[in-house]
């Protein structure tokens, strides 16, 4: 009798300690997406194993949703995938994994939007007060598709204060958004932040693009021309060139007034020519 009791205690011990299937899960479950976990029944348990997975999700409205997945007669020592879809409104999920001949396992997992990254690009690197920022945004899922859930975009000043927010249900295409900078503001590094809604606590799902807001004055214009002995005074090539301090070429139009300082009668000629970005204008005088 004593041997029997000791034997059964030992067996309970080995069941509790050792007959635990190997379960590999992702770090977080992705919302509104198919998630896969891998379950390996142990070799030492005789015969094929039956696997049962219960997915118990808490939803935003306080209700629960339960799903079951069954896989029968699975070979021990091999990893068997079990896939299930997580509800878009889930807040958390508990998995109960039951493998015949093994101890039942409970796993609590966090859930997160199925988002790998949000590409963000502003039309310029420098802005001045009152200007409009054009933003392009492409949210990408783990599988490299365009994310379709809601995303919050916020304009953030150099003190980290969020001024304007837009919540956008991302369509299935790259997104264009505009933000108007205030007329009175702090100069420095500004940002537009993007994150899927309800994910403020997950820094890995917060993305941002930075740009400078400065008081940029019109840069100096450089006029370049040369008149050599014998050159025609009426046809001199002249180059007008202007760069912003951040390096880009100034676009717009240029007006040149030419006059002869020695002449008694003022002789003025006005030249007007539009300049394109990346081009340097040439004028005939
Ligand atoms: C998951 O398990 C934890 C701890 O056992 C429990 O507090 C929580 O309510 C469970 N959540 C769900 C969705 O079942
Ligand atoms: C959930 O995913 C499906 C595609 O699997 C998509 O059509 C649907 O818009 C998504 N729903 C939300 C709320 O993201």
Q: What is the pLDDT of residues 104-127, one digit of tens each?
A: 999 999 898 889 999 999 999 999
Sign for the pseudo-dihedral over CA of 239, 245, 248, 250: negative
The pLDDT confidence band at residue 95, using thresholds 50, 70 and 90, is very high
**Residues flanking ligand 1, CB < 6 Å:** 56-58, 92, 94, 108
Asked if residue 263 and residue 203 are part of one domain, the reply reads: no
Distance from residue 1's CA to the centre of ligand 2 (Å): 62
Q: Is 5 domain-assigned?
A: no
More confident residue, 208 or 270: 208
Look at residues 112, 147, 162 and tell me which one is the last residue of a structural domain: 112
Task: Select from 152, 108, 97, 113 the least CA-distant residue to 32.
Answer: 113
- Tell me, yes or no, whether 127 lies in a domain: yes
C-beta 33 within 6 A of ligand 2: no
Ligand 1 centre and the CA of 90: distance in Å?
Answer: 13
Same structural domain for residues 129 and 85? no
CB distance 60 to 89 below 8 Å: yes
Residue 181 in this model has a pLDDT that exceeds 80: yes
What pLDDT is stored for residue 172 in this prediction?
63
Q: Residues 28, 104: one domain?
A: yes
What pLDDT, on a 0 to 100 scale, did the predictor assign at position 14? 45
148 lines ligand 2 (CB under 6 A): yes
Residue 9 lies in a domain: no
Domain boundary among 112, 133, 151: 112
Ligand 1 atom with the smallest distance to the CA of 91 is: 13
- Note whether 43 and 106 are same-domain residues: yes
- Which CATH number characterizes residue 56's domain? 2.60.40.1930
Predicted confidence (pLDDT) at residue 174 exceeds the cutoff of 50: yes
3 within domain boundaries: no
Q: What is the pLDDT at residue 268?
A: 62
Query: Would you state the pLDDT for residue 231?
Result: 73
Q: Which ligand is nearest to the CA of 106?
A: 1
- Outline where DSSP puts E strands in 101-161: 105-112, 117-122, 126-127, 132-140, 150-156
Instruction: Specify whether 41 is located in the same domain as 85.
Output: yes
Tell me, in angstroms, the distance from the centre of ligand 1 to residue 27's CA: 17
More confident position, 51 or 254 = 51
Domain that holds residue 175: 117-213
Count how many domains the chain has.
3
Are residue 23 and residue 95 in the same domain, yes or no?
A: yes
Q: Is residue 272 part of a domain?
A: yes
104: Cα within 13 Å, side-chain hemisphere = 8
Ligand (nearest to CA of 145): 2
Average pLDDT of the chain to the nearest whole number: 82
The answer to whether residue 232 scores a pLDDT higher than 80 is no
Reply yes or no on whether the pLDDT at 266 is more than 70: no
Same domain, 138 and 180: yes
- Is position 11 within any domain? no
Q: Which of 3-7, 147-151, 234-238, 239-243 has the highest mean pLDDT?
A: 147-151
Shared-domain flag, residues 107 and 121: no
Q: Is the pLDDT at 278 greater than 70, yes or no?
A: no
Residue 233 lies in a domain: yes
**pLDDT band at 16, cuts 50/70/90?**
very low
Q: Is 57 exposed, middle or buried (0-12, 13-18, 19+ CB in 10 A)?
A: buried
Q: Which of 112, 142, 158 is the last residue of a domain?
A: 112
With left for phi above 0 and alpha for psi between -120 and 50, is residue 158 left, alpha or beta? Answer: alpha
- Whether residues 126 and 203 share a domain: the answer is yes
> What pLDDT is attached to residue 45?
66
Output the CA 95–ligand 1 centroid distance in Å: 9
Same domain? 228 vs 245: yes
Q: What is the pLDDT of residue 11?
A: 42
**Can you give the length of the chain in residues?**
285
Q: How sure is the predictor about 5, in pLDDT bands with cuts at 50, 70 and 90?
A: very low
Assess if residue 8 is contained within a domain: no
Q: Output the pLDDT for position 143.
A: 87
**Ligand with the closest atom to the CA of 115:** 2
Query: What's the 151 CA to ligand 2 centre distance in angstroms?
Result: 14
121 and 208 assigned to the same domain: yes
pLDDT over threshold 70, residue 243: yes
Does one domain contain both 66 and 145?
A: no
* Rg of the chain (C-alpha set): 34
């Amino acid at each position: 009798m004593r041997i029997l009791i000791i034997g059964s205690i030992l067996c309970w011990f080995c069941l509790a300690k050792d007959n635990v299937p190997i379960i590999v899960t992702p770090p977080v479950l992705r919302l509104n997406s198919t998630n896969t976990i891998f379950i390996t029944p142990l070799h030492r348990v005789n015969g094929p194993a039956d696997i049962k997975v219960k997915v118990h999700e808490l939803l935003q409205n306080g209700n629960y949703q339960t799903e079951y997945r069954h896989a029968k007669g699975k070979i021990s020592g091999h990893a068997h995938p079990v896939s299930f879809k997580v509800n878009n409104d889930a807040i958390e999920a508990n998995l109960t994994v039951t493998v015949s001949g093994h101890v039942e396992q409970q796993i609590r997992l966090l859930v997160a939007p199925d988002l790998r990254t949000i590409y963000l690009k502003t039309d310029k690197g420098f802005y001045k007060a009152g200007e409009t920022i054009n933003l392009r945004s492409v949210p990408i899922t783990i599988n490299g598709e365009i994310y379709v859930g809601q995303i919050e975009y916020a304009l953030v000043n150099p003190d980290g204060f969020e001024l304007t927010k837009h919540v956008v249900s991302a369509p299935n295409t790259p997104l264009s958004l505009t933000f108007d900078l205030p007329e009175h503001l702090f100069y420095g590094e500004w940002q537009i932040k993007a994150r899927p809604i309800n994910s403020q606590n997950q820094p890995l799902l917060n993305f941002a693009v930075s740009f400078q807001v400065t008081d940029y004055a019109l840069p100096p214009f450089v006029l370049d021309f040369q008149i050599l002995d014998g050159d025609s005074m009426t046809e001199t090539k002249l180059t007008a060139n202007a760069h912003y301090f951040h390096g880009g070429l100034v676009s717009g139009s240029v007006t040149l007034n030419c006059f002869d300082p020695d002449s008694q009668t003022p002789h003025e000629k006005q030249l007007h020519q539009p300049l394109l970005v990346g081009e340097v204008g040439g004028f005939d005088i």
